[in-house]
């Protein structure tokens, strides 16, 4: 949760264009799902890679030039204060920046979408569905070749007909209706 909050703060500082209907809880939830895609086997998170994934997914709002200078100054002073706090603190932050390995980078967007669904189910207290979608996202990340249709997806261990259908939907439309419903809180 702390890493998701940190990512959400950095996303806000970079003006990531989350859906306007989302409250802070939904943004943190999405950040949590995204950061899980960038978690290494030793449990460390890559905040910068996660932030870049959010920027790629949602884009960035343009800020008027006068605000940009002010924000840059605020961000710079915040970063200096954080560095000072870290140097004064006897405990160092144990999070290491390390990217998760994907066997085929072209599968990242669909794996992120499936992992986000998993995160939503976990957040809503449905650990069974969360586990199923999480296992499928892992199978997609570990796939050696680009997945281009549901027939290829269903061959992966951990991807059934239902999730293969979501993969097909994502590949043809660029989104998954179930994910949109979960984001909106209507599922």
Three state DSSP letters for 128-153:
HHHHHHHHHHHHHHHCCCCCCCHHHH
Output phi, psi for 42, to 5 deg.
-90, 5
pLDDT of residue 167: 94
Q: Where residue 162 falls among pLDDT bands split at 50, 70, 90?
A: very high
Q: Average pLDDT, stretch 34-43?
A: 77
Q: What is the pLDDT of residues 84-111, one digit of tens each?
A: 444 444 444 444 434 556 778 888 899 9
Q: Where residue 14 falls among pLDDT bands split at 50, 70, 90?
A: confident
CB atoms within 10 A of CB 49: 16
Q: Average pLDDT, stretch 117-144?
A: 91
| C-alpha distances in Å from residue 123, one per residue of 4, 13, 64, 111, 165 | 13, 25, 36, 18, 23
Q: With 70 as the cut, is the pLDDT of residue 31 above it?
A: yes
pLDDT of residue 79: 45
CA distance 43 to 39: 6
Least confident of 7-11, 73-77, 130-134, 165-169: 73-77
Q: Average pLDDT, stretch 162-173?
A: 94
CA distance 48 to 119: 20
Residue 60 DSSP symbol = B
Q: Where residue 113 falls among pLDDT bands split at 50, 70, 90?
A: very high
Tell me if 3 sits within 8 A of 48, measured CB to CB.
Answer: no
């Amino acid at each position: 949760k702390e890493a998701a909050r940190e990512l959400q703060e950095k996303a806000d500082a970079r003006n990531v264009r989350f859906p306007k209907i989302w409250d802070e809880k939904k943004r943190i939830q999405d950040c949590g799902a995204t950061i899980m895609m960038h978690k290494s086997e030793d449990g460390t998170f890559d905040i910068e890679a996660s932030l870049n994934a959010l920027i790629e997914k949602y884009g960035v709002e343009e800020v008027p030039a006068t605000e940009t200078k002010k924000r840059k100054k605020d961000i710079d002073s915040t970063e200096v204060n954080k560095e000072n706090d870290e140097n004064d603190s006897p405990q160092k932050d144990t999070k290491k920046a390390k990217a998760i390995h994907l066997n085929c980078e072209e599968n990242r967007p669909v794996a992120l979408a499936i992992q986000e669904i998993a995160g939503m189910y976990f957040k809503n207290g449905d650990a069974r569905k969360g586990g199923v979608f999480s296992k499928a996202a892992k199978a997609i990340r570990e796939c050696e070749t680009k997945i281009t249709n549901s027939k290829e997806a269903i061959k992966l261990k951990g991807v059934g007909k239902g999730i293969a259908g979501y993969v097909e939907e994502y590949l043809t439309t660029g989104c998954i209706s179930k994910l949109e419903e979960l984001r909106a809180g209507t599922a």
